[in-house]
């Protein structure tokens, strides 16, 4: 049963079937092969119950928040302000890319949106300043992955729904690892630019007066982050309510900057509907697949197989990491989460791993999947913005950051308190 499922899945991936359709087809195929009952009749109920989940209402709100920040020009002003503060570091604008990705991630919730937004603003500087193009592209693709680690995060909402974990705790758990990972990305750039100074490009000349004048452009993203995460931390709002609060804050900032036009709103609404429709199609198809594999006994079969291996908790953890690293090269991250977490998570929890800590590990593994070929979506986003050359350049430039992500996984495995400190502080 396991091997049949994998064979069908690999075949669908090889045919480049769209993700949502592929998951639905796999579910229907398994129903026809292994079930005596017409499980497909449950599709309507599953679609309704999935889309009717109150926590998932936060997804379109966070997508809309990112769209407003992009369409109103706030992201561009934020990037230009960070440029004034980073030129003293070897690597200059590459550190600005990472810092801008981290700040945009703190208001967006999407890695693709983060990479696309910062890439749109930054790519014009590569040739102008003489940077090593591959490393520069790598900072945008890798920095974009921070969009699902630094809260708010759409993927954390999905994980919380799948495992019935506290989304506020997941958000708090992602703050420190997000800051540490952004710092490690910058240290990676610093190391390469110290080894090869020519890769760091021509430094931008600026003055303290220009830096101080740029500070007001850094305040709006910080205010939105405080409004979203602060309201959750203080217990004033749920994740969904805080998302709506973030949208109101973004609208207010856009209005203050005189960028809140009907055209901006219509573009933001259209982008939100497209992205939300894609996400919900994947979720509905993946929930149907989970229902099928549970009904035909595949989940129990996998659990028994892993239990019979007699792995220690550490060995099990390593096996799960390797599994996701390999699978992440061939599957889109959101569908991979929805299809595998309901099977893997109970096994990990039974082995003694905390659901919140494991959630952050899963997010780091999803980040890695976003920048590993051949299906790493951020690689294609950056190459699409670049509009020339080969995608090999993006892949090679991103490779050092894949190893940085693996280092981050090792850090939270050795020091789980890095993940759990803020959730425990809030609970205590």
pLDDT per residue over 6-42, tens digit each?
677 777 766 767 777 877 888 888 787 777 777 776 7
Q: How many CB atoms are closer than 10 A to CB 101?
A: 31
Q: How many domains, in total, are found in the chain?
A: 1
| pLDDT, tens digit, 9 for 90 and up, residues 81-111 | 888 887 777 887 888 889 988 988 887 777 8
pLDDT higher than threshold 90 for residue 354: yes
pLDDT band at 279 (very low <50, low <70, confident <90, very high): confident
Distances (CA, A) of 247 to 9, 61, 135, 242, 270: 38, 7, 34, 9, 15
With beta carbons less than 8 A apart as the criterion, state whether 189 and 404 touch: no
CA distance 124 to 287: 42
Q: What angle do CA 19, 400, 371 make, to 5 degrees?
A: 10
**Which range among 106-115, 182-191, 318-327, 334-343 shows the weakest confidence by mean pLDDT?**
106-115
CA distance 385 to 381: 6
CA distance 15 to 1: 21
Question: Which is more confident, 240 or 400?
Answer: 400
In sequence order, the 6+-apart residues with CB closer than 8 A to the CB of 219 are none
Distance between alpha carbon 208 and the CA centroid of its chain, in Å?
35
Domain that holds residue 95: 2-427
pLDDT higher than threshold 80 for residue 218: yes
pLDDT band at 258 (very low <50, low <70, confident <90, very high): confident
CA distance 428 to 424: 6
């Amino acid at each position: 049963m396991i091997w049949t499922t994998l064979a069908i899945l690999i075949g669908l991936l090889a045919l480049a079937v769209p993700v949502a359709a592929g998951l639905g087809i796999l579910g229907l195929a398994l129903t026809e092969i292994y079930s005596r009952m017409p499980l497909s009749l449950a599709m309507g109920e599953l679609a309704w119950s999935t889309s009717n989940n109150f926590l998932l209402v936060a997804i379109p709100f966070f997508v809309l928040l990112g769209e407003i920040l992009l369409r109103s020009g706030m992201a561009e002003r934020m990037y230009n302000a960070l440029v004034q503060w980073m030129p003293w570091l070897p690597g200059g604008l590459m550190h600005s890319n990472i810092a801008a990705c981290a700040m945009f991630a703190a208001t967006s919730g999407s890695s693709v949106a983060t990479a696309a937004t910062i890439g749109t603003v930054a790519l014009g500087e590569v040739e102008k300043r003489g940077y090593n193009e591959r490393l520069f592209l790598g900072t945008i693709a890798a920095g974009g992955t921070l969009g699902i680690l630094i809260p708010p995060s759409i993927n954390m909402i999905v994980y919380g729904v799948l495992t019935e974990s506290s989304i506020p705790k997941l958000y708090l758990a992602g703050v420190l690892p997000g800051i540490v990972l952004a710092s490690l990305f910058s240290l990676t750039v610093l190391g390469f630019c110290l080894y090869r100074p020519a890769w760091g490009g021509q430094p931008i000349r600026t003055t303290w007066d220009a830096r101080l004048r740029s500070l007001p452009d850094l305040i709006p993203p910080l205010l939105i982050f405080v409004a979203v995460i602060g309201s959750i931390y203080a217990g004033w709002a749920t994740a969904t309510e805080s998302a709506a609060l973030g949208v109101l804050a973004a609208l207010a900032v856009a209005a203050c900057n005189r960028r809140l036009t009907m055209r901006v709103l219509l573009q933001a609404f259209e982008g939100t509907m497209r992205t939300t429709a894609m996400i919900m199609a994947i979720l509905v198809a993946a929930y149907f697949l989970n229902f099928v594999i549970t009904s035909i006994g595949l989940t129990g079969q996998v659990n028994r197989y892993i239990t019979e291996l007699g792995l220690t908790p550490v060995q099990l953890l390593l096996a799960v990491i390797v599994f996701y690293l390999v699978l992440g090269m061939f599957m889109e991250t959101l569908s991979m989460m929805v299809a595998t977490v309901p099977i893997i998570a109970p096994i990990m929890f039974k082995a003694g791993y905390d659901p919140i800590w494991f959630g952050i590990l899963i997010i780091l593994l999803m980040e890695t999947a976003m920048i590993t070929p051949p299906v790493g979506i951020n690689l294609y986003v950056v190459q699409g913005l670049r509009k020339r050359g080969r995608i090999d350049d993006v892949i090679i430039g991103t490779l050092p950051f894949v190893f940085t992500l693996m280092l981050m996984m090792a850090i939270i495995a050795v020091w789980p308190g890095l993940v759990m400190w803020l959730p425990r502080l809030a609970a205590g």
